Amino acid sequence: MDPAASVESRIGPEAVSEKLTMDLPNLSRRNVFGLVAGAGAVPLLQACSAQSETGPSGAPNEPPKAVGQPMPDGVRLPSSPPRRKAEDSVGFAIVGLGGYALRNIMPTFEQGRRAHISALVSGNADKMARVADAYGVARDACYSYDTFDDIASDDRIDAVYIILPNGLHAEYAERAFAAGKHVLCEKPMALSDAECQRVIEAAERADRKMMIAYRCHFEPHNLKAMEIMREGTLGDIAMIRTNQHYVMGPTAPEQNWRANRALAGSGPLEDYGIYGLQSALYLTGEMPTTIAARMHQPRDDPRFSQIVATVGTVMQFPSGAIAELSTSYDASSSNRGVVWGNKGKLIMDPATG
Protein backbone atom coordinates (compact mmCIF):
# COMPACT_ATOMS: atom_id res chain seq x y z
CA MET A 1 0.00 0.00 0.00
CA ASP A 2 1.30 3.44 -0.88
CA PRO A 3 -0.82 6.05 0.96
CA ALA A 4 1.08 9.01 -0.44
CA ALA A 5 0.58 7.78 -3.98
CA SER A 6 -3.17 7.55 -3.48
CA VAL A 7 -3.23 11.09 -2.14
CA GLU A 8 -1.20 12.39 -5.08
CA SER A 9 -3.55 10.76 -7.55
CA ARG A 10 -6.33 12.97 -6.19
CA ILE A 11 -4.63 16.30 -5.58
CA GLY A 12 -1.27 16.16 -7.37
CA PRO A 13 2.26 16.05 -5.96
CA GLU A 14 2.69 19.76 -5.23
CA ALA A 15 1.50 19.55 -1.64
CA VAL A 16 0.35 16.57 0.38
CA SER A 17 -1.03 17.10 3.86
CA GLU A 18 -3.56 14.36 4.26
CA LYS A 19 -5.08 12.24 7.00
CA LEU A 20 -5.55 8.51 6.59
CA THR A 21 -7.41 6.52 9.24
CA MET A 22 -8.03 2.78 9.27
CA ASP A 23 -9.78 0.38 11.62
CA LEU A 24 -7.73 -2.80 11.79
CA PRO A 25 -9.58 -5.37 13.89
CA ASN A 26 -7.82 -8.41 12.40
CA LEU A 27 -4.42 -6.95 11.64
CA SER A 28 -1.58 -9.44 11.43
CA ARG A 29 2.09 -8.57 11.97
CA ARG A 30 2.79 -9.16 8.29
CA ASN A 31 -0.09 -6.89 7.25
CA VAL A 32 0.96 -3.97 9.43
CA PHE A 33 4.42 -4.15 7.90
CA GLY A 34 2.90 -4.05 4.43
CA LEU A 35 0.68 -1.19 5.49
CA VAL A 36 3.69 0.96 6.29
CA ALA A 37 5.49 -0.19 3.13
CA GLY A 38 7.53 -3.08 4.40
CA ALA A 39 9.40 -4.11 7.51
CA GLY A 40 12.82 -4.90 8.84
CA ALA A 41 15.59 -2.36 9.57
CA VAL A 42 19.27 -1.63 10.06
CA PRO A 43 20.95 1.63 9.10
CA LEU A 44 22.37 3.77 11.89
CA LEU A 45 21.65 7.48 11.82
CA GLN A 46 24.86 8.21 9.95
CA ALA A 47 23.74 5.87 7.20
CA CYS A 48 20.87 8.17 6.35
CA SER A 49 23.27 10.39 4.42
CA ALA A 50 25.50 7.62 3.11
CA GLN A 51 26.11 7.41 -0.62
CA SER A 52 24.33 4.52 -2.27
CA GLU A 53 25.86 2.15 -4.77
CA THR A 54 22.79 2.71 -6.90
CA GLY A 55 21.91 5.96 -8.66
CA PRO A 56 18.33 7.26 -8.80
CA SER A 57 16.37 6.26 -11.85
CA GLY A 58 14.62 9.57 -12.56
CA ALA A 59 10.83 9.55 -12.87
CA PRO A 60 8.84 8.09 -9.94
CA ASN A 61 7.16 5.50 -12.19
CA GLU A 62 10.37 4.40 -13.91
CA PRO A 63 11.47 0.91 -12.79
CA PRO A 64 14.52 1.20 -10.53
CA LYS A 65 17.81 -0.12 -11.84
CA ALA A 66 21.05 -0.90 -10.05
CA VAL A 67 24.06 1.02 -11.39
CA GLY A 68 27.58 1.61 -10.10
CA GLN A 69 28.74 4.74 -8.30
CA PRO A 70 32.24 6.12 -7.54
CA MET A 71 34.05 5.26 -4.33
CA PRO A 72 32.29 7.12 -1.48
CA ASP A 73 34.13 9.64 0.67
CA GLY A 74 35.45 8.56 4.03
CA VAL A 75 36.06 4.88 3.19
CA ARG A 76 39.11 3.26 4.81
CA LEU A 77 39.85 -0.10 3.22
CA PRO A 78 41.75 -2.75 5.21
CA SER A 79 45.53 -2.59 4.90
CA SER A 80 45.71 -6.38 4.76
CA PRO A 81 43.13 -9.10 3.93
CA PRO A 82 41.09 -10.46 6.85
CA ARG A 83 42.33 -13.50 8.78
CA ARG A 84 41.28 -16.97 7.69
CA LYS A 85 37.89 -18.06 9.00
CA ALA A 86 36.72 -21.35 10.46
CA GLU A 87 35.92 -24.15 8.05
CA ASP A 88 32.19 -23.77 8.69
CA SER A 89 32.23 -20.01 7.98
CA VAL A 90 29.40 -18.74 5.78
CA GLY A 91 30.53 -17.03 2.59
CA PHE A 92 28.60 -13.84 1.78
CA ALA A 93 28.39 -11.96 -1.50
CA ILE A 94 28.03 -8.25 -0.71
CA VAL A 95 25.51 -6.80 -3.16
CA GLY A 96 26.09 -3.05 -3.47
CA LEU A 97 29.32 -1.24 -2.54
CA GLY A 98 27.90 2.07 -1.35
CA GLY A 99 28.92 4.09 1.69
CA TYR A 100 26.95 2.06 4.21
CA ALA A 101 28.35 -1.23 2.97
CA LEU A 102 31.95 -0.01 2.86
CA ARG A 103 31.99 2.09 6.02
CA ASN A 104 29.62 0.23 8.33
CA ILE A 105 28.98 -3.35 7.27
CA MET A 106 32.03 -4.85 5.61
CA PRO A 107 34.57 -3.86 8.31
CA THR A 108 32.54 -5.75 10.93
CA PHE A 109 32.99 -9.12 9.22
CA GLU A 110 36.46 -9.30 10.77
CA GLN A 111 34.80 -9.55 14.22
CA GLY A 112 32.92 -12.74 13.34
CA ARG A 113 34.46 -16.21 13.26
CA ARG A 114 31.80 -17.91 11.17
CA ALA A 115 31.05 -15.38 8.42
CA HIS A 116 33.30 -13.99 5.72
CA ILE A 117 33.08 -11.98 2.50
CA SER A 118 33.51 -14.37 -0.41
CA ALA A 119 32.21 -12.30 -3.35
CA LEU A 120 31.25 -8.79 -4.42
CA VAL A 121 28.53 -7.36 -6.69
CA SER A 122 28.82 -3.83 -8.06
CA GLY A 123 28.26 -1.77 -11.18
CA ASN A 124 31.64 -0.03 -10.83
CA ALA A 125 34.38 -2.46 -11.87
CA ASP A 126 37.33 -0.26 -10.82
CA LYS A 127 35.94 0.33 -7.34
CA MET A 128 35.08 -3.35 -6.98
CA ALA A 129 38.63 -4.36 -7.88
CA ARG A 130 40.07 -2.10 -5.17
CA VAL A 131 37.64 -3.46 -2.59
CA ALA A 132 38.27 -7.06 -3.66
CA ASP A 133 42.05 -6.67 -3.21
CA ALA A 134 41.58 -5.12 0.23
CA TYR A 135 39.26 -7.87 1.45
CA GLY A 136 41.01 -10.81 -0.19
CA VAL A 137 38.16 -11.54 -2.62
CA ALA A 138 39.16 -13.38 -5.80
CA ARG A 139 38.65 -11.42 -9.01
CA ASP A 140 36.55 -14.25 -10.47
CA ALA A 141 34.20 -13.79 -7.48
CA CYS A 142 33.41 -10.21 -8.55
CA TYR A 143 30.10 -9.83 -10.38
CA SER A 144 28.31 -6.94 -12.07
CA TYR A 145 24.58 -6.41 -11.78
CA ASP A 146 24.28 -7.79 -15.32
CA THR A 147 26.10 -11.01 -14.36
CA PHE A 148 24.53 -11.32 -10.89
CA ASP A 149 22.62 -14.48 -11.80
CA ASP A 150 25.93 -16.27 -12.44
CA ILE A 151 26.41 -16.55 -8.66
CA ALA A 152 24.30 -19.73 -8.94
CA SER A 153 27.38 -21.69 -10.03
CA ASP A 154 29.75 -20.18 -7.45
CA ASP A 155 30.07 -22.55 -4.49
CA ARG A 156 32.07 -19.98 -2.55
CA ILE A 157 28.82 -18.04 -2.05
CA ASP A 158 26.46 -19.44 0.58
CA ALA A 159 24.41 -16.27 1.04
CA VAL A 160 24.03 -12.74 -0.29
CA TYR A 161 23.83 -9.55 1.77
CA ILE A 162 21.67 -7.04 -0.13
CA ILE A 163 22.75 -3.47 0.68
CA LEU A 164 20.87 -1.64 -2.06
CA PRO A 165 18.16 1.04 -2.02
CA ASN A 166 14.75 -0.10 -0.81
CA GLY A 167 13.16 -0.33 -4.24
CA LEU A 168 15.70 -2.98 -5.34
CA HIS A 169 15.46 -5.31 -2.33
CA ALA A 170 12.68 -7.52 -3.66
CA GLU A 171 14.23 -7.97 -7.12
CA TYR A 172 17.65 -9.00 -5.85
CA ALA A 173 16.25 -11.20 -3.09
CA GLU A 174 14.15 -13.10 -5.63
CA ARG A 175 17.12 -13.42 -7.99
CA ALA A 176 19.34 -14.66 -5.16
CA PHE A 177 16.81 -17.32 -4.19
CA ALA A 178 16.55 -18.36 -7.83
CA ALA A 179 20.34 -18.81 -7.72
CA GLY A 180 19.99 -21.07 -4.69
CA LYS A 181 21.48 -18.69 -2.11
CA HIS A 182 20.33 -17.64 1.34
CA VAL A 183 19.49 -13.91 1.74
CA LEU A 184 20.32 -11.31 4.37
CA CYS A 185 18.69 -8.02 3.34
CA GLU A 186 18.75 -4.49 4.66
CA LYS A 187 15.46 -3.11 5.85
CA PRO A 188 12.80 -2.84 4.65
CA MET A 189 12.24 -6.19 2.97
CA ALA A 190 10.39 -4.43 0.15
CA LEU A 191 8.12 -1.47 -0.59
CA SER A 192 4.74 -3.22 -0.40
CA ASP A 193 3.16 -6.21 1.26
CA ALA A 194 2.71 -7.80 -2.18
CA GLU A 195 6.47 -7.57 -2.84
CA CYS A 196 7.20 -8.96 0.63
CA GLN A 197 4.92 -11.92 -0.05
CA ARG A 198 6.69 -12.59 -3.36
CA VAL A 199 10.04 -12.67 -1.59
CA ILE A 200 8.71 -15.01 1.11
CA GLU A 201 7.31 -17.37 -1.50
CA ALA A 202 10.59 -17.29 -3.45
CA ALA A 203 12.46 -18.28 -0.27
CA GLU A 204 10.04 -21.13 0.35
CA ARG A 205 10.35 -22.41 -3.22
CA ALA A 206 14.13 -22.35 -3.00
CA ASP A 207 14.15 -23.81 0.52
CA ARG A 208 16.52 -21.05 1.58
CA LYS A 209 16.54 -18.73 4.58
CA MET A 210 15.51 -15.06 4.50
CA MET A 211 16.53 -12.57 7.16
CA ILE A 212 16.07 -8.81 7.46
CA ALA A 213 19.05 -7.15 9.14
CA TYR A 214 17.12 -5.37 11.89
CA ARG A 215 19.69 -4.86 14.61
CA CYS A 216 17.48 -3.38 17.36
CA HIS A 217 16.06 -6.80 18.28
CA PHE A 218 19.57 -7.89 19.29
CA GLU A 219 21.05 -4.81 20.97
CA PRO A 220 21.40 -4.78 24.78
CA HIS A 221 19.48 -1.59 25.55
CA ASN A 222 16.54 -2.63 23.39
CA LEU A 223 16.52 -6.11 24.95
CA LYS A 224 16.56 -4.47 28.39
CA ALA A 225 13.63 -2.24 27.44
CA MET A 226 11.66 -5.30 26.31
CA GLU A 227 12.47 -7.02 29.60
CA ILE A 228 11.28 -4.00 31.60
CA MET A 229 8.00 -4.02 29.70
CA ARG A 230 7.48 -7.79 30.11
CA GLU A 231 8.05 -7.50 33.86
CA GLY A 232 5.41 -4.78 34.14
CA THR A 233 7.80 -2.34 35.79
CA LEU A 234 5.95 0.67 34.35
CA GLY A 235 2.51 -0.73 35.05
CA ASP A 236 -0.16 -0.33 32.40
CA ILE A 237 1.10 1.53 29.34
CA ALA A 238 -0.81 4.71 28.59
CA MET A 239 1.31 6.41 25.92
CA ILE A 240 4.36 5.85 23.70
CA ARG A 241 5.98 8.66 21.74
CA THR A 242 8.82 8.23 19.28
CA ASN A 243 10.70 10.75 17.12
CA GLN A 244 13.03 9.90 14.26
CA HIS A 245 14.03 13.12 12.48
CA TYR A 246 16.87 14.69 10.55
CA VAL A 247 17.18 17.44 7.92
CA MET A 248 18.02 16.16 4.46
CA GLY A 249 20.58 18.32 2.72
CA PRO A 250 20.01 20.00 -0.66
CA THR A 251 19.33 17.30 -3.20
CA ALA A 252 16.94 16.04 -5.87
CA PRO A 253 15.63 12.64 -7.00
CA GLU A 254 18.34 12.49 -9.66
CA GLN A 255 21.06 12.86 -7.00
CA ASN A 256 19.85 10.94 -3.94
CA TRP A 257 17.93 7.66 -3.95
CA ARG A 258 16.18 8.58 -0.70
CA ALA A 259 14.44 11.41 -2.57
CA ASN A 260 13.45 9.10 -5.41
CA ARG A 261 10.10 7.36 -5.05
CA ALA A 262 10.96 4.36 -7.23
CA LEU A 263 13.98 3.58 -5.06
CA ALA A 264 12.88 4.80 -1.64
CA GLY A 265 9.11 4.48 -1.40
CA SER A 266 6.95 7.31 -0.15
CA GLY A 267 9.44 8.91 2.24
CA PRO A 268 11.05 8.81 5.69
CA LEU A 269 8.76 6.23 7.28
CA GLU A 270 10.22 3.35 5.27
CA ASP A 271 13.77 4.48 6.06
CA TYR A 272 14.09 6.02 9.52
CA GLY A 273 10.59 6.01 11.00
CA ILE A 274 10.38 2.25 10.99
CA TYR A 275 12.49 2.25 14.18
CA GLY A 276 9.72 4.04 16.06
CA LEU A 277 7.03 1.88 14.52
CA GLN A 278 8.83 -1.34 15.47
CA SER A 279 9.53 -0.14 19.00
CA ALA A 280 5.84 0.57 19.56
CA LEU A 281 5.08 -3.04 18.60
CA TYR A 282 7.77 -4.74 20.65
CA LEU A 283 7.32 -2.51 23.73
CA THR A 284 3.56 -3.06 23.91
CA GLY A 285 3.73 -6.67 22.72
CA GLU A 286 0.54 -5.96 20.79
CA MET A 287 -0.67 -5.23 17.28
CA PRO A 288 -2.67 -2.01 16.77
CA THR A 289 -6.40 -2.00 16.20
CA THR A 290 -6.49 1.46 14.58
CA ILE A 291 -3.95 3.59 12.73
CA ALA A 292 -4.25 7.25 11.71
CA ALA A 293 -1.56 9.07 9.75
CA ARG A 294 -0.79 12.52 8.37
CA MET A 295 1.82 13.28 5.74
CA HIS A 296 3.23 16.56 4.52
CA GLN A 297 4.93 17.24 1.18
CA PRO A 298 6.25 20.83 0.90
CA ARG A 299 5.66 22.86 -2.22
CA ASP A 300 8.51 23.88 -4.53
CA ASP A 301 11.20 21.93 -2.67
CA PRO A 302 13.25 19.72 -5.02
CA ARG A 303 14.08 17.37 -2.15
CA PHE A 304 10.42 16.45 -1.88
CA SER A 305 9.22 16.56 -5.46
CA GLN A 306 8.57 12.81 -5.32
CA ILE A 307 8.41 11.92 -1.62
CA VAL A 308 6.78 13.29 1.51
CA ALA A 309 8.90 15.11 4.07
CA THR A 310 7.11 14.27 7.30
CA VAL A 311 4.82 11.52 8.55
CA GLY A 312 2.91 11.54 11.83
CA THR A 313 1.16 8.36 12.95
CA VAL A 314 -1.17 7.50 15.84
CA MET A 315 -1.82 3.88 16.73
CA GLN A 316 -4.15 2.47 19.39
CA PHE A 317 -3.67 -1.01 20.85
CA PRO A 318 -6.16 -3.50 22.34
CA SER A 319 -4.97 -2.67 25.87
CA GLY A 320 -5.85 1.00 25.31
CA ALA A 321 -2.24 2.14 24.93
CA ILE A 322 -1.69 4.89 22.36
CA ALA A 323 1.49 5.38 20.31
CA GLU A 324 2.30 8.71 18.65
CA LEU A 325 5.09 8.36 16.10
CA SER A 326 6.76 11.08 14.03
CA THR A 327 9.44 10.80 11.39
CA SER A 328 10.82 13.49 9.11
CA TYR A 329 13.51 14.34 6.58
CA ASP A 330 12.94 18.03 7.33
CA ALA A 331 13.04 18.44 11.12
CA SER A 332 15.91 18.94 13.55
CA SER A 333 17.67 15.73 14.55
CA SER A 334 15.91 13.55 17.08
CA ASN A 335 16.12 9.84 17.86
CA ARG A 336 14.01 9.37 20.96
CA GLY A 337 11.45 7.04 22.48
CA VAL A 338 9.42 7.53 25.65
CA VAL A 339 6.92 5.19 27.31
CA TRP A 340 4.55 6.38 30.04
CA GLY A 341 2.92 3.84 32.33
CA ASN A 342 0.78 4.32 35.42
CA LYS A 343 3.78 3.34 37.61
CA GLY A 344 6.73 4.83 35.79
CA LYS A 345 8.37 6.17 32.65
CA LEU A 346 10.97 4.73 30.25
CA ILE A 347 13.18 7.12 28.25
CA MET A 348 15.46 6.01 25.41
CA ASP A 349 17.53 8.87 23.99
CA PRO A 350 19.10 8.04 21.62
CA ALA A 351 16.60 5.28 21.02
CA THR A 352 18.35 3.40 18.23
CA GLY A 353 21.78 4.97 17.77
Domain membership of residue 152 (yes or no) is yes
**229 plus 261 within the same structural domain:** yes
Q: Which residue has the higher pLDDT, 247 or 28?
A: 247
Catalytic residue selected from 85, 127, 181, 187: 187
d(CA 1, CA 44): 26
**175 plus 203 within the same structural domain:** yes
pLDDT band at 249 (very low <50, low <70, confident <90, very high): very high
Is it the case that residue 132 has pLDDT exceeding 60?
yes
Phi-psi region of 76 (alpha: psi -120 to 50; beta: other; left: phi over 0): beta
d(CA 98, CA 52): 4
Tell me the range of 109-118, 198-207, 258-267 where mean pLDDT is highest. Answer: 198-207
**Residues whose CB is less than 8 angstroms from the CB of residue 68 and which lie 6 or more positions away in sequence, other chains included:** 53, 122, 123, 124, 125, 127, 128, 144, 145
- The residue out of 216, 243, 259 marking a domain boundary is 216
**Residues whose CB is less than 8 angstroms from the CB of residue 276 and which lie 6 or more positions away in sequence, other chains included:** 242, 243, 244, 325, 326, 327, 337, 351
Percentage of the chain surpassing pLDDT 90?
73
d(CA 49, CA 72): 11
**199 plus 67 within the same structural domain:** yes
Domain membership of residue 353 (yes or no) is no
- Burial level of 353, CB count in 10 A (0-12/13-18/19+)? exposed
Is it the case that residue 161 has pLDDT exceeding 50?
yes
CATH code at position 52: 3.40.50.720
**132 plus 180 within the same structural domain:** yes
**283 plus 136 within the same structural domain:** no
CB 186 within 8 A of CB 163: yes
Is it the case that residue 14 has pLDDT exceeding 80?
no
Average pLDDT over the chain, rounded to an integer: 85
pLDDT band at 113 (very low <50, low <70, confident <90, very high): confident
Catalytic residue selected from 135, 246, 272, 275: 275
What's the domain count of the chain? 2
- Burial level of 125, CB count in 10 A (0-12/13-18/19+)? exposed
Domain membership of residue 43 (yes or no) is no
DSSP class of residue 320?
A: S
291-322 pLDDT, tens digit per residue, is 999 999 999 999 999 999 999 999 999 999 99
Percentage of the chain surpassing pLDDT 70?
82
Domain membership of residue 267 (yes or no) is yes
CB 159 within 8 A of CB 90: yes
pLDDT band at 54 (very low <50, low <70, confident <90, very high): low
CATH code at position 227: 3.30.360.10
Domain membership of residue 125 (yes or no) is yes
Domain membership of residue 160 (yes or no) is yes
Comparing CA positions, the residue from 145, 120, 146 lying closest to residue 131 is: 120
Domain membership of residue 315 (yes or no) is yes
- Burial level of 87, CB count in 10 A (0-12/13-18/19+)? exposed
Q: Which residue has the higher pLDDT, 278 or 41?
A: 278
d(CA 48, CA 190): 18
Bridge partners of residue 240, in order along the sequence: 323, 339
- The residue out of 166, 187, 216 marking a domain boundary is 216
What is the domain range of residue 87? 48-216
pLDDT band at 55 (very low <50, low <70, confident <90, very high): low
The pLDDT score that the predictor gives to residue 31 is 47
- The residue out of 168, 188, 216 marking a domain boundary is 216
The pLDDT score that the predictor gives to residue 29 is 46
The pLDDT score that the predictor gives to residue 57 is 54
d(CA 309, CA 115): 38
**52 plus 198 within the same structural domain:** yes
Helices (H) and strands (E) in the chain, counts: 10, 13
In this structure, of 17-26, 30-39, 197-206, 224-233, the range with the lowest mean pLDDT score is 30-39
**188 plus 298 within the same structural domain:** no
**120 plus 27 within the same structural domain:** no
CB 164 within 8 A of CB 56: no
**204 plus 58 within the same structural domain:** yes
Is it the case that residue 34 has pLDDT exceeding 50?
no
Q: Is 187 labeled as catalytic in the residue annotation? A: yes
Comparing CA positions, the residue from 284, 345, 346 lying closest to residue 319 is: 284
One-letter amino acid at 244 equals Q
**224 plus 342 within the same structural domain:** yes
pLDDT band at 39 (very low <50, low <70, confident <90, very high): very low
**7 plus 123 within the same structural domain:** no
pTM here?
0.82
Comparing CA positions, the residue from 212, 162, 165 lying closest to residue 51 is: 165
**163 plus 233 within the same structural domain:** no
In the predicted model, what is the mean pLDDT of residues 61-66?
74
The pLDDT score that the predictor gives to residue 130 is 97
pLDDT band at 134 (very low <50, low <70, confident <90, very high): very high
The alpha-carbon radius of gyration of the chain (Å, integer) is 20
pLDDT band at 61 (very low <50, low <70, confident <90, very high): low
pLDDT band at 86 (very low <50, low <70, confident <90, very high): confident
Three-state DSSP class for residue 70: coil
